[in-house]
A = this chain, B = another copy of it.
Amino acid sequence: MKYRYFSIGEYPQSGTPERGLFTLNEADLPELDNGQVRVRNTWLSVDPYMRGRMSGVATYIDPFALDAPLEGAAVGEVIASRDERFQEGDRVVHMGGWRDIAQLPGDALQPLPDIDVPPQAFLGVLGMPGMTAWTGLNVIASMNDGDNVLVSAAGGAVGSLAVQLAKAKGGTVVGIAGTQAKRDWLEARGVVAVDYRDKDAATLTADLQAACPEGFDVYYENVGGVCLEAALNTLRVGARIAVCGMIAHYNDETPVPGPSNLAMMVIRRARMQGFIVFEHWERYPHFLEEVGPLVSAGRIDYEETIVEGLENTPDAFLDLFQGANQGKMLVRL
């Protein structure tokens, strides 16, 4: 049986990767070994963190292997199994993405949780991005009832859940987003939406102060750059900043200076903490238990931006850095 997969042949050291970096290959799948399962993927996830795996440097996760199938979260259906835990027709989630058919050891598969949502929700609002939002607010930033919360990249897969979780705590929630459609979506959910495009830190600071004159107890940092600098100016005493990524810098050609106002960390006695959601995965069942029913009942909304067809996976990935996705960026096969 043949399968198709994307690979890269070199590591782009800096800058936005070119479309030509990605090669679509076709190859024969080997015979199914004992313990292996064959999955026909139906949904692929593309996520900003994947840029880090293309740098050739081990950070918190190994780089992608060159000339081998790229990896990423995916949902699919079992089409053959030599692992007794999985039968044909089972729906599973796993990391064998960027390909149409994945052949993996059974240990690498998770059955889809028994929650009444579309299967691709486990790649977004109930998957890694959702878990990232929940962990950042609750575990890293110690969010309390009534906290005023600022979320950057608030229209993205992580941010759009973060604002809703924050909103449920009762304080003022402000979301930074770069398109009118994202801001409309946020405002419709009671979030004060602020644009950042073409603003310097002073202007964005003033806009954030207007949106929440009391200042913020929690800042959910996804972006870096001007958003971080403005956020630092608007912290309340004792504020907590959760940092899960800085998408503004993933493709920097050269090092870009950081915020000139880090001294605000002292003035406001603030705490900033970086985290990697995979290191908190033992809480995933707790997260599903808390957020799953809210999503299933429609009390938490989520958006998807869907690209059709395996061959367009690199385009979906590259579009993330243009902010082209509203909510979770997905590829449907």
Q: Which residues of A contact B (CB under 8 A)?
A: 59-60, 224, 228, 237, 243-246, 249, 255-276, 279
Contacts and interface: CB of A to CB of B under 8 A. Distances in A.
Given A257-B260, A260-B258, A266 B246 contact: yes
A260 B265 contact: no
Contact of A255 (B237, B260, B276): B260
Nearest to A237: B60
A180 B237 CA distance: 39
Please list the 7 inter-chain residue pairs (A to B) with the smallest Cβ-Cβ separation, ordered nearest first.
A257-B257, A258-B258, A255-B260, A266-B274, A265-B274, A271-B273, A258-B259
Nearest to A228: B262
Given A245-B263, A266-B275, 9 more contacts: A60-B237, A60-B267, A243-B262, A246-B262, A266-B274, A269-B274, A269-B276, A272-B272, A272-B273
A79 to B, nearest CB: 37
Nearest to A229: B258
B263 A246 contact: yes
Contact of A262 (B224, B271, B279): B224
Contacts of A224: 262-263
A328 B266 CA distance: 22
Contacts of A257: 257-260
Given A257-B257, A257-B258, A269-B60, A263 B249 contact: yes
Contacts of A262: 224, 228, 243, 246, 258-259
A260 B266 contact: no
Contacts of A246: 262-263, 266
A252 to B, nearest CB: 8
Contacts of A275: 266, 269
Contacts of A261: 255, 258
A37 to B, nearest CB: 32
A245 B258 contact: no
B271 A266 contact: no
B279 A274 contact: no
A259 to B, nearest CB: 5
A265 B272 contact: yes
Contacts of A60: 237, 266-267, 269
A48 to B, nearest CB: 12
A270 to B, nearest CB: 6
Contacts of A237: 60
Contacts of A245: 263, 266
Given A256-B260, A258-B261, A260-B256, A244 B271 contact: no
Q: Output the residue of A60, A224, A263, A268 with the most chain B CB within 10 A.
A: A263
A266 B258 contact: no
Contacts of A265: 243, 272-274
A220 to B, nearest CB: 13
Contacts of A228: 262
A171 to B, nearest CB: 22
Contacts of A270: 273-274
